């Protein structure tokens, strides 16, 4: 295992950890979603690193990353859509107040 791969994995793990922390510690929906983006970004770094250093001839790794990016974009669109609707209705996007949405 080369050093570059290790560095990439550590970066990925760091992004993931910051993302987890952000998603768990923030109460604002926008902030939570930013955390989730960071988690996904960490995961993508890992995937790209494994493809680049272990199996550079196989395009499946790249395709997987592209799919994840598409999913991220869609997720953002849906998440912000919900956030805007919530804001218009209640005037805030604090998730502690949105318990009633489960009903």
Partner 1 sequence: MNLIAIAILAPFSMMVLILLLRRAPAVLALFGATVSLVASSGLLSSVFGGTNSELLLPGLPDMPLRLVATPLTALLSTMVAAISSMVLLYAVGYMKQDKEKNRFFASMLLFISAMQTLVLAGDWVLLLSAWELIGLSSYLLIGFWYQRAGVKSAATRAFLYTRSADLGLYIAAFILIDNAGSSDIATTLSTGGNAAVVAGLLLLVAAMGKSAQTPLHDWLQGAMAGPTPVSALLHSATLVAAGAILLIRTAPMLPPETLLVIGIVGGITTVITGLIALGERDLKRMLAASTSSQYGLMLLAIGAGIPLAALLHLIAHAAIKSSLFLGAGVFQHSRESTALVDLQGAGRDRPRIFFGFALAAFALAGIPPLSAFFSKDAIIAATLASPDAMLLATFALTGTLLTGAYMARALHILWRGEKQTREIAGLQWMGAGLAVLVILASILGFTFTTIETLLNNHLDESTLAQILGLSAALSGLALGWFIPAKRLLGPLRPWAMQGFAITGGFDTWIVKPAFAIARSCEQVERGLYACVAGIVKPALAISRSCEQVERGLYAMVLAIGRLGLRLGQAARFSDERGIDGLIYSLVNSTIELGSRARMLQSGLIHREMAITVVATAFILVSALLALLVY
Residues numbered 28 to 47 that lie near partner 1 (CB under 8 A) are 32
Residue 31 exposure: Cα atoms within 13 Å on the Cβ side? 12
User: Least separation, in Å, of the C-beta of 57 and partner 1?
Assistant: 28
CA pair distance 96, 34, nearest whole angstrom:
17
Tokens 């869609």 -> residue: 74
- Nearest CB to partner 1, comparing residues 4 and 97: 97
95 binds partner 1 (CB under 8 A): yes
From 1, 3, 89, 99, residue interacting with partner 1 (rule: CB under 8 A): 99
């Amino acid at each position: 295992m080369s050093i570059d791969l290790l560095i990439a994995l550590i970066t990925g793990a760091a992004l993931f950890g910051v993302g987890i922390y952000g998603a768990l510690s923030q109460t604002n929906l926008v902030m939570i979603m930013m955390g989730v983006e960071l988690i996904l970004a960490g995961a993508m770094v890992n995937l790209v690193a494994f493809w680049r250093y272990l199996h550079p001839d196989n395009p499946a790794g790249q395709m997987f990353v592209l799919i994840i990016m598409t999913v991220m974009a869609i997720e953002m669109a849906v998440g912000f859509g919900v956030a805007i609707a919530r804001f218009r209705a209640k005037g805030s996007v604090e998730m502690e107040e949105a318990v009633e949405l489960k009903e």
